[in-house]
Amino acid sequence: MFSKLKYLKLFFILNAIYTPILSNAANANFEKWILKEYNISQTKMLANFSRPDTVKGTIVAAPSYENPNYYYHWIRDGSVAIGSVILLLENEPDESIRKNLQQHIQNFIEVSKIHQNQNTPAGLGEVKFMPSGEAFLGTWMRPQNDGPAIRALVLSYYALNLIDKGQIDFVKNNLYNEAWPANTLIKKDLEYISNEWKEPCFDIWEEVYGDHFFTRLIQAQALNIGSQLAEKLNDPGAAHWYKTQSLLIKDSLKEFWNAKAMQIDATKNYLNNHDKESNLDTAALLAITSVGCSCNQDFGISDPRTIATAQKLKDVFEKLYPINLTYPKLGTAIGRYPEDTYNGYESGRVGNPWFLTTAALASYSYRLAWSLKKEESFIITEITQPYFKYILRNNPELQKAFEIGTTIKTNSPLFQELFKALFKEGDRYLKRVRFHMDSDGSMSEQFNRTTGYMQGAENLTMSYTAFIRSVLSRNNLIPF
Ligand code: NOJ
Ligand code: NOJ
């Protein structure tokens, strides 16, 4: 996996961006580690794809047959992973590696058709599939409607790219065409989402039944990109329907902002919220870093409501996990939600920080830096001030400039300092991840809140995906 060309390309990008910012030996060492772990993450993630005892295209959540048994293709985990493969492909110059990545996407498309054609209790909201490609039909928390939305989203993005490259026939035969009733992969998912989004379902952590911010935001974005695809492929009625539903979903998201608690709430209208009294959940930020626009509205990256939620998550987890006090120089270890009791093996125990949620906060810091830079200026409000003051905590002089009502011009030296501080914050989260991972670069699902040792499923696919996304975010290479 580790090609010289790739190394050179990334190194070039990193150098161009950081030379003025970071220059000492410790930083050079850190930069080297990032590249190394970026490659290790690719190799280890891809090792969970099309394993010999699975139907080709199957992506297991982790190569773990018991305690916990993660040897299934979850629609969510698999689609998130293939989304990162699509991005890796975009940034990969080496032809033989590109071929390999393309083959993985092709295998995913094939296995997804098998999954979609199974007879399941939850329709396309069915959650996980066995290595044979058949649906898991035992008792489970179903439906989980984020899965088909993530799949439609990443494949629509891929399909639009293929159309740009002139591969319209491939797209029509394998991914989307206007035939009705829908008989193509993406259109089936889009039909399901656009007709089902108002229905309650289980959340991404498979615990709470209700209406979820994560699920809704991804559905809105899937229908938005899906409508662009429908438009390109001469399916105007569908394009209009998907777009309309997407806007309705976006509108429904307003309800999730909790001005009193200064956070985006995870869930509304739940039956049983799994004792999640705070309704604060990293899932909200995960959704935004996965699909949020680089904008300051509609729950984009620099939307004040997003900024406030990032700050709240940091505050709450900082106090909750003892390792955050033991190693205060590293970024805050972040979990799923404060009341979590799943320890990676069973519920009703003590929850821990996860690699994927901690890496998501790294991604967020980097993406916020880049997103703000795109704007001409922004105003400090009472909603965003605590976050900026925190980011600038080592620079009291600068902090003073970030008073409520102040306009920060992004071509000012002041902003340069903020940009650097946001990068540093992102790097601190990655240093936290580095500290708790295995010395060979492997990552499980969680690390213990007190001892710091890894636990839960080993080699979790989504831990590697999250790391890859954080490096791409650092390099400003996330297109959606
Ligand atoms: C397994 C799920 O995947 C996990 O998210 C959940 O916390 C536990 N089961 C308990 O429901
Ligand atoms: C538990 C997580 O909560 C869920 O999001 C995930 O899909 C499964 N584990 C498999 O990784």
The predicted-structure confidence for 15-28, as pLDDT tens digits, reads as follows 445 444 545 888 99
Calculate mean pLDDT across residues 6-23.
48
Max intra-chain CA distance, the chain: 63
Mean pLDDT confidence for 373-384: 97
Provide the pLDDT for residue 15: 44
Sheet with 209-212: strands ordered across: 201-202, 209-212, 267-268
* Cβ count near 26 (within 10 Å): 8
Pairing of strands 377-379, 257-258: unpaired
The answer, yes or no, to whether any atom of ligand 1 lies below 6 A from the CB of 207, is: yes
Per-residue pLDDT tens over the stretch 36-55 = 999 999 999 999 999 999 99
Could you tell me if 111 and 38 are in contact, meaning their C-beta atoms sit under 8 angstroms apart? no
- 139-142-146-148 Cα dihedral, nearest 10 degrees: 80
308 Cα: distance to centroid of ligand 1 (angstroms): 27
What's the pLDDT at 294? 87
Nearest C-alpha to atom 9 of ligand 2 is from which residue? 205
75 alpha carbon, closest ligand: 2
Supply the pTM of this predicted model. 0.95
- Residue with CA nearest ligand 2 atom 10: 61
Q: What is the mean pLDDT of residues 323-342?
A: 97
Tell me: pLDDT of 10 over 70.
no
Helix (H) or strand (E) holding 179: none
Averaged confidence pLDDT in the chain: 95
CA–CA gap between residue 230 and residue 244 (Å, rounded):
13
pLDDT tens readout for residues 159-196: 999 999 999 999 999 999 999 999 999 999 999 999 99
pLDDT of 286-323, one tens digit each? 999 999 888 899 999 999 999 999 999 999 999 999 99
- Residue 242 CA to ligand 2 centre (angstroms): 28
Strands 128-129 and 73-74, how do they pair? antiparallel
Ligand 2 pocket check: which of 126, 136, 206 to mutate, most ligand atoms within 8 Å of Cβ?
A: 206
The pLDDT tens digits of the residues spanning 233-292 come to 999 999 999 999 999 999 999 999 999 999 999 999 999 888 899 999 999 999 999 998
Residue with CA nearest ligand 2 atom 4: 205
Range 369-379 average pLDDT: 97
Helix boundaries (H) for 19-94: 25-46, 75-90
How many residues appear in the chain? 480
Beta bridge partners of 377: 409
Q: Smallest Cα–Cα separation from 298: which of 247, 230, 341?
A: 247
Query: Does 417 sit in the ligand 1 pocket, CB within 6 Å?
Result: no
Residue nearest to atom 1 of ligand 1 (CA): 206
Is the model's pLDDT at 394 over the cut of 90?
yes
Three-state SS at 267: strand
Distance between start and end Cα atoms, the chain? 25
Instruction: Give the type of residue at 382.
Output: E
Count other Cβ atoms within 10 Å, centred on residue 334.
27
- Tokens in use for 86? 């699509």
The pLDDT value recorded for residue 26 is 87
* Confidence check: pLDDT of 109 > 90: yes
Identity at 188, one-letter amino acid code = K
Q: Kindly give, in sequence order, each residue whose CB lies less than 8 Å from that of residue 104, ignoring residues fewer than 6 positions away.
A: 46, 49, 50, 82, 85
Q: Please tell me the predicted confidence (pLDDT) of residue 21.
A: 52
Please tell me the predicted confidence (pLDDT) of residue 321: 98
Tokens found for residue 306: 């997003």
Cα–Cα nearest to 197, from 152, 264, 231, 159: 152
What average pLDDT does range 364-376 have in this prediction?
97
Which ligand ends up closest to the CA of 340? 1
Ligand 1: which of 207, 275, 357 to mutate, judged by most atoms within 8 Å of the beta carbon? Answer: 207
pLDDT at 229: 98
Considering only CA atoms, which of 24, 46, 143 is closest in space to residue 102?
A: 46
Q: How far apart are CA 470 and CA 459, in angstroms?
A: 17
pLDDT tens figures, 132-151: 999 999 999 999 999 999 99
The residues, ordered by sequence, that sit 6+ positions from 414 with a Cβ below 8 Å of its Cβ are 398, 401, 408
Cβ–ligand 1 distance for 298 under 6 Å, the answer no
pLDDT band at 11 (very low <50, low <70, confident <90, very high): very low
C-alpha angle with apex 26: 20 to 30, nearest 5 degrees? 85
Averaged pLDDT, 328-357: 98
Query: What's the CA gap between 351 and 338, in Å, rounded?
Result: 8
- Give me the residues paired with residue 455 across strands: 446
The pLDDT value given to residue 295:
87
Distance, C-alpha 320 to centroid of its chain: 23
Q: Are 216 and 197 in contact (CB under 8 A)?
A: yes
- pLDDT tens per residue, range 41-100: 999 999 999 999 999 999 999 999 999 999 999 999 999 999 999 999 999 999 999 999
pLDDT of 479 above 90: no
Residues 6+ apart with CB under 8 A from 168: 162, 233
Question: Is pLDDT at 1 greater than 50 in this prediction?
Answer: no
